[in-house]
Chain A
């Protein structure tokens, strides 16, 4: 199987409220998008909370821990590193991280395996 990278255009950058998440459907996957006010970056991680198995990560509060941008699960408040997807409260758990880019005012998410 060859790796085929595709960038999926998800929404206009303006549709994302800074420091608040939004869920998106990307090629059948539920993805949580976060546009951060301080860095201006857009991060994408699994929308599925690995602890509660509910699709809620986009509704978590963003923040920082020791300078690392984070999102906290709205269900039971575990914090995740938005850059690496690693859970900061349980090293055995992590979220899948999706590469993102902003092109012509649109947010695009890369779906690695096709």
Chain B
């Protein structure tokens, strides 16, 4: 696949496509080709000069908060493992030989039939004296950001004081960099040559509003200022910045964010035509002056200019994918509207933001105290929206941008009202050709079509089908509105009802029970539902009643609500027998405990396996054997592990400080304490926790709903991780908490989740479903923004107080024990259809073929004898 010279073995040879550059646009190109099945006719080879696969450069700054560059990677990596697709990292393409259709990289030559240039751009450093001193950075790649971060931390340690940072450039990237420096604890100054900040996106008044907000955050701003030179200190590292007017400021770190230039040097050296101010000239089909070479993304000069946003780059990638498959798609220019959050400040500009159209009128709303500036540019008759800019509050952006070129109604000022006062009908009435998602070029019509013709019935489906809202996410609320309206129009009820018996969501039912005296399912059904219940609402009611009323799973009517697992407090397996998991809190177990478990498994002929949650699972227990098995376990001091419940499962831990030479905190003790605190807590889905004793993270805590990682100063808390079908990494929630603070934060997080999540919704999608996401949950949990903190604390305290071991309570109650009869008229008779074969010294259920042999009487060892205890 990678040989430089094509060889033929009597087969149709696939054509070779070389993609030079492995950024976001190259990624989209390969993705688009694979989606259309082009990898069957093309071998695709991608050459990138970075060490990483393509990542989300737009989200670069988030690297400071998440600290895990892996999280920025685009896609799940499977794209690069497909046959016919190959990514070469660390591979600079040094030369293209257009006549021979070869490129040179990795000290060899690669043949191509078609080549796509997607080399993007580089950060421009102005010719300032000293700009190459140690401590001067650009802001373009993950490596840039990582080095910048390390530099700031190192300098802070060496200097023993706050680091002073200067950012040259007050545009989009400059403010991003200023945000990053501020987040690292540096005193930051932004230096802009123009008269105001973000001169390409906002006007003087907007720039002024932006400056006021940013200065309030402690960032210094100098406009109309040219940097003339940088000077080193005695250690040779950058120390001072001097301006053209002679003034100087101290600077321990300098970031240049003065713009980018197309990386077109390879095109130039290959003799391709380039634009006057750079960029590879290409036609609307993205074809360059060589008919075998395309150019896409920030390196391409198409339709009169270079396009410096990811959205147009994606469109070009789609165009080339189409062309390579014989299509005629064309790039005709793109919407350069942007909405950004810089230093936490919303900034958006769209359409003719600078009122360049003849006779255009401006409608301005400014509130300096609130730090808001909004402007709409209207046509000369004040009817048609031409563009606008929003600073401080850009909530109107999603609704306004698609309205560009359209009548805005009688009172345009209505669109500029403060957040939350949206004009009626906004969004829903958008014409089909209005662009809703500019990143992925999706129109309102395509979103409607996803519902009406492609059968999507929810946001997840529409996102997967159209890609709308999958890049920057700013249009998600508008997409949702369109989808909801379309579903309603199509007669598809957007039902949030739990099932046919209750017209409420799980969260609503929870509140109904919480504020009422209801303590049984029949009361709940009579007062708020209909019918006789089902396998959906009964377990939900059981879970809610358990959390709020703290009664035993088998008490009275509760028993009729439990799924078989909760009903017999074990996990049903494929042949109708159950598995048994005693709790081993934090994975810590004594040798005596292990012996008991081994003896019980041996006596009852149970198959044993270690679980992922650091405990032991015993399989093949028949329903009528469960009480006898548990009697042995409870007598030996074990209790239910709730492996069967939608409830807390385990708190996984590493051995921590007590034994490990790297551990900085006692992770095992914390894990045991947490497991004993939350054991038995019923929840919308299973909950798993993990505690690691140091940053090496041996407990894999970030794959848990709540992950805790020890630091020198305390504990870092992560939330929203899970394994399973859709694995998620938990996100940082709070840092350096004391144990007391940590426990309270987990108490509130879990109880808030238990109260408000949907049925079978794990923590990650629950957090996503909350408006404001992790930040909003953080405010509720850590800052008590809803004023429910004390209530959540009390609810968790009640849970802890009322906990009882379900199995011990069951063993002490003959009525409950009667439920474990195999047959009501033959309580101790084993299911005669069970059959087992032996494998690796243990038994497992026989499969169909083995069963047939067993019934025919062959001599495969079978255990069906009754075990008596």
Contacts and interface: CB of A to CB of B under 8 A. Distances in A.
A74 B564 contact: yes
Given A24-B823, A37-B522, A74-B563, A63 B575 contact: no
A75 B571 CA distance: 11
B576 A63 contact: no
B826 A25 contact: yes
A23 to B, nearest CB: 5
Interface string A57-89: 001111111110110101101010000000000
B500 A65 contact: yes
Contact of B572 (A17, A23, A30, A56): A56
Contacts of B537: 63
Pick the most buried of B531, B559, B567, B821: most chain A CB atoms within 10 A of its CB: B531
A64 B534 contact: yes
Nearest to B522: A37
A94 B28 CA distance: 49
A97 interface: no
A36 B522 CA distance: 13
A61 B531 contact: no
A64 B576 contact: no
B825 A64 contact: no
Contacts of B819: 17, 20
B528 to A, nearest CB: 16
A102 interface: no
Given A25-B823, A75-B572, A64 B532 contact: yes
Contacts of B833: 30, 48, 55
A16 B534 contact: no
A45 interface: no
Nearest to A54: B576
Contacts of A37: 522, 560
A112 B564 CA distance: 30
Given A38-B532, A54-B574, A66 B564 contact: no
B869 interface: no
B535 A72 contact: yes
B593 interface: no
B824 interface: yes
A111 to B, nearest CB: 13
Nearest to A10: B825
A67 B563 CA distance: 21
A63 B532 contact: yes
Contacts of A70: 534
B384 interface: no
A65 B534 contact: yes
Contacts of A56: 564, 572, 576
A66 B500 CA distance: 8
Contacts of A24: 823-826
Interface string B549-588: 0000000010111111001100010111000000000000
Interface in B811-840: 819, 821-826, 829, 831, 833
A61 B829 contact: no
A67 B826 contact: no
Interface in B588-604: none
A62 B560 contact: yes
B825 A11 contact: yes
A64 B537 CA distance: 11
A95 interface: no
Given A55-B833, A79-B535, A23 B574 contact: no
A67 B533 CA distance: 10
A6 interface: no
Contacts of B822: 23
Interface string B142-177: 000000000000000000000000000000000000
A15 B535 contact: no
Contacts of A60: 535, 564
Contacts of A49: 576
Nearest to A17: B559
A11 B535 contact: no
B538 interface: yes
B572 A61 contact: no
A61 B823 contact: no
A36 B533 CA distance: 12
A77 B522 contact: no
Given A64-B533, A69-B532, A75-B576, 13 more contacts: A11-B825, A20-B559, A20-B560, A24-B826, A30-B833, A54-B575, A56-B564, A61-B539, A61-B562, A63-B533, A63-B535, A64-B531, A74-B563
5 contacts: A16-B824, A17-B559, A54-B575, A61-B560, A63-B537
7 residue pairs, one from A and one from B, having the closest CB atoms: A63-B534, A64-B532, A54-B576, A72-B535, A19-B560, A74-B564, A59-B564
Interface of A: 10-11, 15-20, 22-25, 30, 33, 36-38, 48-49, 52, 54-56, 59-67, 69-70, 72, 74-75, 77, 79
